[in-house]
Amino acid sequence: MQTKTSERLFQAAGGLLPGGVSSPVRAFGAVGGTPRFLVRGRGSRVWDADGNEYVDYVGSWGPMILGHAHPEVVRAVQETAAEGLGFGAPHPLEVELARAVQGFYPALERLRFVSSGTEATMSALRVARGFTGRELVLKFKGNYHGHADGLLVEAGSGALTLGQPSSAGVPEGYARLTIVGRYNDADALEDVFREHGERIAAVIFEPVVGNAGVIPPSTGFLKALRQLTREYGALLIADEVMTGFRVAPGGATERYGLEPDLITLGKILGGGLPAAAYGGRAEVMAQVAPEGPVYQAGTLSGNPLAMAAGLATLRVLKREPAIYERLEDYGLRLAEGLADELQRAGVAHTINRVGSMLTVFFTEGPVTGFEDAQRTDTAAFRRFFHALLEGGVYWPPSAFEAAFVSAAHKADDLERTLSAVRTAFA
């Protein structure tokens, strides 16, 4: 496989962009080697600057549920662009997309469009603090909610210790307004509320963890989340930036019967362009300016191109509900095929899957929390990743990320993938 063009581009980028990339995971730091500069996508396949073709399981990190360059999405963007790229004023497509989103998420009585998942989660927490008049936020170890200062926090030395910064540039005082709990641990959650409950404005969580690898929620944990937040008067925020419209038409909210106060959405919502949203109960969202005192704004929020791409994507999903059956079926066959090859090769593994999201952990035993995920053999994953890459399969370049299936993946993609897997394990 030729990589000279990608190597040349990466070397040039290193003198212009920090680490040569615009987002850290793209640099292949966790797996080594030269990142591929992708220049074209069609359906389930992508091509790099050297002309190499890959079966793609990154899907722009989740948005491409219909596959790359879906004709209806491309046409919607082209037609909208011909009328203007943006106005900084209300646009009819904002109204249409908001109505479409409510069709999938009836709990979103009111919503506000923004341009990224980070903006959505950051804003939702600000609204929660404004609504409750409280300062503390509870998040869970291994859950990622974007790069806002208050969310780049890791657990302190004890289960009930307030957070410590996990990134340079985050003030320790601000980090201490975030409590870091243990995902899927209802008892620990109850301890946190017993200690800090009267000061907690909101609990934010990934209904299905995707950034520690895929980790499904337990029924008891979800029940405790809703019960304790209601008991103590805190808001419950479901971060569905990744799971929204993916694990079910109505995301994890539908799949697990959740009743959050606020929901954050992104990725699929923008159909491949930068768009996200936060919303929920009308009385809570009434706090947002200009209606209420919680300020939040964005020059490109509701950009017509992103609205057009998102609306076209949701229209296809609404029109073709069988897409979710195909996603479930392909995800299952991929997981079973991987498991068969791993068992045949005698490689320790755990595969977690929720619908069209899955992760291969190179460790034995169940993976139900961040501590379990950390046991994965990262050296084995690096070898696995590069063997797949050489075999024409573009897998997420991190042991702690979800792989995504799209509606464009077909039987020949699965065959090519499992062939590359067999070579990898050999």
Residues noted as catalytic: 144, 239, 267
Tokens of residue 330, six digits: 């392909």
* DSSP state for residue 88 in the 8-state scheme: S
Instruction: Give the pairing type, strands 164-165 and 153-154.
Output: antiparallel
Cα separation, 256 vs 248, whole angstroms = 10
With beta carbons less than 8 A apart as the criterion, state whether 273 and 298 touch: no
Whether the Cβ atoms of residue 380 and residue 345 lie closer than 8 Å to each other: no
Angle among Cα 264, 270, 272 to the nearest 5 degrees reads: 130
Question: Residue 284 is inside which H or E element, if any?
Answer: helix 282-285
Of the CA atoms within 13 Å of residue 69, those in its CB half-sphere come to: 9
Written as six digits, the tokens of 271 are 């159909």
Q: Which of 284, 105, 307, 348 is nearest to 207 (CA)?
A: 105
Determine contact, residues 72/316, Cβ cutoff 8 Å.
yes
Residue with tokens 């409510």: 102
DSSP lists the bridge partners of residue 15 as none
Q: What is the DSSP string of 220-240?
A: HHHHHHHHHHHHHT-EEEEEE
d(CA 252, CA 61): 17
Phi-psi region of 32 (alpha: psi -120 to 50; beta: other; left: phi over 0): left
| Terminal Cα distance for the chain, rounded | 19
Q: In what order do the strands lie in the sheet with 350-354?
A: 350-354, 357-361, 403-404
Q: Which residues contact 326 (CB under 8 A, 6 or more apart)?
A: 407
List CB contacts of 297: < 8 A, sequence separation 6 or more: 289
Would you call 403 helix, strand, or coil by DSSP? strand
